Structure 1
């Protein structure tokens, strides 16, 4: 179903400010050649669905040449397309098709590390005096042969791996097969900027920058201190440390400025950093500060939260004050690394009503909204049995972690097709057992579906400047009630009210006219998981 043309108020703001961005995980979106793995031609074949949503841009997770130890985030050729996904010509065709539909193209860039199969690393580990000898983080052992510092890997165990060829340890903040690049080295920075230029010259409109606060380390290799006691679960040695020396180095902003300058020299491209860790708020503000750094950043405020509460929303918004020189936020409730929010935040019997509220909230926040593929369908987290797991983090930490595999399962396009029209009967991960009933074709034909609700909300966001780019002022955030106002210059102010709980709540709103509402909405009350966006009159 194609959407009717929408007349959108013109704005002097850049295209990305207030954008809705649709994340595509290429292995699981659509399989064009029937090998069980999604690919670039598959994405191209299904782009009409994305355009029909009314979003502004797509963000494609890694499709680069890789041995796939971390499913594309271990890159062996930063400027190549892995054969499992297609060719550079397929990528060019995807870009052309995306642009013809009026959408922008964003891709992942992974600058903190490479695969151990990258030619740079093969040369670097061959000796201590080759041209790439200092392109990765190498260090001698301590006198007793142990690693040079106490740094721990995200995936468990020490962040140092012994290499007999050089007689040294190399740093890997993630998998052993993902050695860290030494971005303190000017030659490495130049090489990485060359990678950025390669993709910008192919028509890319923006980058999502993976794990950017891991891009530089402390050259003195000082030990990380322990974190203070906490009620937060700790399933990995990594969780016990304050990672102040193997990430978050003060030289990262200078590299960011070089990268941002390169991107802006290619026109109106958009830069968005992923920033996690214990100091995410400070780093997101630092990386987006002023006109010479990145446009936006997003963290893990919502991605691993066990509950959606007014306090959680208020705390997340407080990190992004308005004013000159301040960065612009981006928000994600789900992505390829985090369990489906619909399975984390609500009991199954309330999933349908909650999904509508969740979508209205995401699309009402000040900032960019990131939709992960299938979120518009209300897809649930899939319970992948241990013998079917392929995610290295899930295998290493099983059963103490919710598998990333469970959020990476194939998109269901046709509910009654054996393969859900993904393109292969035996895909790399199994379909969710309840996903057939949530398939695109099933929901397209239902005017009350979450898919059609999402389309209507994105259209509303595009038509209301206050919703897309306006200031946000919280009026109430207590108990289960969240009320905030959105207001843009020369546009009607809006009031947004949400009941995040299972009992009726009283509300006191100014005179208003409903623009979108879900659940039981009365003049002074909201029912369970009810919400509204209204124009103040």
Structure 2
């Protein structure tokens, strides 16, 4: 087994709660995912990334794990997980599963033991610290979901660290015993046949041993919406000891021919992406929120991102949507179908592994979820100015006229169905020329047919705004990629070649490339 398949692959993220409900309880599950794997395979994807399905009290909807080797009954059983892996492999799909090792649930047996005393066998499995002389927390670190990152525990008479919810205590990954336990978790799932892991907030795994205060950001012009955005996060994340643990994990992965992709959340995301993939003892690939939080796509955004990977030994990954951000058709394309296709084509033209989020292939707009139906603790805490992650997690529409658009037989689901999504259901778009679904299939097939797009160099070319021009090159194969990111038609000289793929009103003429507003042209030269 090797991980060569990863280079240039297209990986489809399944958020199980919202993908397909097989038992009528209004929540998606593993059997529902199995029923719809054919859809993913038909897109031409190489792998699936499955968001957490492990035992959890669901305070953060699965990202608070209470048993890393158990399947939550809400999603099914361990046998269902095995069946999903088997069916995916039959369809030629690799299986990547989430691993949330920065923190666990406070209901995990490890934490239950750790909090009992300061001298039990798991006393140092989590990040504990004494209060300051005045009883205040050990330092000024702030939690991502609001408030301080430390909570007092009366049993130990110490504070414990939580970078997210109070119910998500941080594991002490500095501790070799914790590392051993996490590597045992990895082996458990690798033995069951998974092909790799997506590591949640991988650069949060270790913290500054001295617990130094984070310095403030001195350039703020006004108060940011969240307390943690007041600080430079020098000491609560991205510590060098994390790479030592990754080296140990890489050794286990190499035994099985498996891979790992890391999620990076940092002030310098591309720099850390590169650092975490730089060598045979690092991650196979990593992605960050660099494009996931971009509010407008301009040529400079892409060129700057690609420039930071020049000469890198590592391999990047890119995504425009996931379960944590506003869906890209809304964020980057103003819910315009033509611009949505353009963004999809751009993602698939970049050097790196491409991640699609369920519903991207349908062009789903970010859903409107009223306050009284919100479930995401982050969205509730920061309402009305929060990200609104629930809008990316509403039910997947499979059939326009079916109950809940074919997601469930229940009268309602854990999150409401956005009425706009019915008209974009899979059965509405399947086989219809010009639909977003068929375009996505064609774009993925084109990427797979061109080695230069999958694995070639990225060579930025000069072009006036708003044209993005670059070449992808591998050996003698060269593909010129032209994107008009603006609304007005433009013309651009182009080398002689053959037009291979286009988006919108774009064509190759004897005088050069004619690009209509929000269009793209791929030319083999």
CA shift, 1:485, in A, is 0.3
1:281 Cα offset (Å): 2.5
RMSD of Structure 2 on Structure 1 (CA): 1.3
Once the two structures are superposed, the pairs formed by residues 306-345 of structure 1 within 5 Å of their partners are: 306-322=295-311, 326-345=313-332
**Greater displacement, 65-74 / 272-281:** 272-281
Contact map agreement 1:21 1:55 (CA 8 A) in 2: yes
Structure 1 match to 2:135: 145
Q: Does 1:290 align with 2:245?
A: no
The answer to whether the 8 Å contact 1:502/1:529 transfers is yes
Residue 192 of structure 1 aligns to a residue in which SS?
Answer: helix
Superposed, 1:374-389 pairs within 5 Å as 374-389=359-374
1:310 and 1:478 in contact (8 A); partners too = no
Task: Verify the 8 A CA contact 1:140 1:169 in the aligned structure 2.
Answer: yes
1:1-26 superposed Cα distances (whole Å, 9 cap, x missing partner) = xxxxxxxxxxx980111100000000
- Give, in angstroms, the shift of residue 308 of structure 1: 1.1
* Structure 1 position 322, deviation (Å): 3.5
1:483 match: 469
Distance 1:223 1:443 in 2: 53
2: CA distance between counterparts of 1:437 and 1:126?
Answer: 54
Partner of 1:397: 382
Give the structure 1 partner of residue 290 of structure 2.
Answer: 301
Residue of structure 2 in register with 1:17 after alignment: 7
Pick closer, same or farther for the CA change 1:215–1:54 going to 2, 3 Å: same
- Number of equivalent positions: 519
* CA deviations over 1:80-133 (Å, ceiling 9, x no partner): 100000000000000000000011000011111000000000000011111110
Give the corresponding residue for 1:88.
Answer: 78
Contact 1:311 1:478 in 2 (8 A): no
* Structure 1 gap segments, 5+ residues each: 1-11
What residue is the counterpart of 2:396 in the other structure? Answer: 411
Partner-residue secondary structure (3-state), 1:515? strand
Distance in 2 (CA, whole Å) between partners of 1:139 and 1:477 is 55
| 8 Å contact from structure 2 (residues 266, 272) kept in 1 | no
- Counterpart Cα distance in 2 of 1:473 and 1:234: 37
| Shift of residue 318, structure 1, vs aligned partner | 1.7
Partners of 2:23 and 2:443 lie apart in 1 by: 34
The aligned residue for residue 50 of structure 1 is 40
Whether contact under 8 Å (1:322, 1:471) holds in the other structure is no
Change (3 A) 1:98 1:485: same
Which residue matches 2:268? Answer: 279
Moved over 3 A (4+): 230-233
Match of 1:245 among 235, 244, 250: 235
Residue 36 (str. 1) matches residue 26 (str. 2): yes
Whole-Å separation in 1 of the counterparts to 2:3 and 2:163: 38
Are 2:64 and 2:167, in contact at CA under 8 Å, matched by a contact in 1?
A: yes
Please, what TM-score do these two structures have when normalized by structure 2?
A: 0.97
Stretch of structure 1 that moved more, 139-148 or 509-518: 509-518
Please say if 1:259 is aligned against 2:249. Answer: yes
Contact 1:253 1:286 in 2 (8 A): no
Question: Equivalent residue for 1:7?
Answer: none
1:89-238 map, 5 Å: 89-230=79-220, 234-238=224-228
2:507 pairs with 1:517: no
Cα deviation for residue 504 of structure 1 reads 1.4
Q: CA deviation at 1:142?
A: 0.4
Give the Å deviation of 1:477.
Answer: 5.5
Structure 2 segments unaligned to the other structure (5+ residues): none
Q: Does 1:452 align with 2:438?
A: yes
Distance in 2 of aligned mates of 1:203 and 1:372: 23
Q: Is the 8 A contact 1:410 1:429 kept in 2?
A: yes
Look up the SS of the partner of 2:385 in the other structure: coil
Flag the 1:231–1:336 CA change in 2: closer, same or farther, 3 A: farther
Matches within 5 A, 1:501-512: 501-512=486-497
SS in 2 for 1:363: helix
312-321 vs 472-481, which moves further: 472-481
